[in-house]
Amino acid sequence: MARMKFLCDADRCIECNACVTACKNEHEVPWGINRRRVVTLNDGKPGERSVSMACMHCTDAPCAAVCPVNCFYTTADAVVLHSKDICIGCGYCFYACPFGAPQYPRVGNFGSRGKMDKCTYCSGGPEADFSVAEYEKYGSNRLAEGKLPLCAEMCSTKALLAGDGEMIAEIYKQRVVKRGYGSGAWGWKTAYRETVAI
């Protein structure tokens, strides 16, 4: 099976936020919850770069490790998913996550903040593929349809790459060689303990 990863080419990202919008629309993500976001570094200065960030589906995911109810699981494609039926909304995954991926529908206090929501790599949840329950809780399941995450598919500059880690790393390497520069695979070292040599 493939080892699914995200790679954001910061030299291509133009901060159009289409990935964010695509994600919200595809999964009917509730208001206030952002499974994906675009962070601009050095905003307004020379050398400004934008990076689209969501759950990176880490190797040995910290969220899964700290979860007090073990609601996380990793699929055969190495996608980190969770069960909203087991989640108690404690927020520990957010404390452990290096990318700020977990989101909660209510943020005022810890008591009743609701079930955690995060990027599913467009692959739903533990429910049966394409079921109504799966769609309502986790959004659509593109992976089961043989499609890649919509955020990457929609990306107008093809900055955001999704797919098998080795393949997208190869694509990125070729780009860097061809154009002569690159600023690295953001977050890869933290998420996968390896990075793309450029």
Report 45-84 residues binding another protein (CB under 8 A).
Answer: 45-51, 53, 62, 65-71, 83
Identify the residue among 18, 23, 99, 161 touching another protein (CB under 8 A).
Answer: 99
Instruction: Tell me the three state secondary structure of residue 81.
Output: strand
**Could you say whether residue 104 binds another protein (CB under 8 A)?**
yes
Is 105 among the residues that bind another protein (CB under 8 A)?
Answer: yes
Q: Are 56 and 191 in contact (CB under 8 A)?
A: yes
Q: Does 89 bind another protein (CB under 8 A)?
A: yes
Output the six-digit token pair for 6.
């995200």
Calculate the alpha carbon distances from 149 to 49, 68, 144, 152 in Å.
23, 29, 11, 6
CB of 103 to another protein, least distance (A): 7
Residue 165: closest CA among 37, 11, 2: 2
DSSP 162-177: EEEHHHHHHHHHHHHH
Among 16, 59, 74, 90, binds another protein (CB under 8 A): 90
Stretch that binds another protein, among 74-82, 102-110, 153-161, 165-173 (CB under 8 A): 102-110
Per rule CB under 8 A, is residue 30 in the interface with another protein? Answer: yes
Size of the site for another protein (CB under 8 A): 80
Asked if residue 7 lies in contact with residue 185, where contact means CB atoms within 8 angstroms, the answer is: yes
Ramachandran sector of residue 39 (left: φ over 0; alpha: ψ -120 to 50; beta: rest)? beta
- Interaction mask 167-186, another protein, x per CB under 8 A: -----------xxxxxxx-x
- DSSP character at residue 29: P
Angle in degrees, CA 57, 92, 135, rounded to 5: 55
Residues 111-130 touching another protein, rule: CB under 8 A, are: 111-113, 129-130
Does the footprint of another protein cover residue 189 (CB under 8 A)? yes
Interface positions, 132-151, toward another protein (CB under 8 A): 132, 135-136, 140
Q: Is 94 in the site for another protein (CB under 8 A)?
A: yes
Residues 11, 182 contacting (CB under 8 angstroms):
yes
Near another protein by CB under 8 A: residue from 86, 148, 154, 167:
86
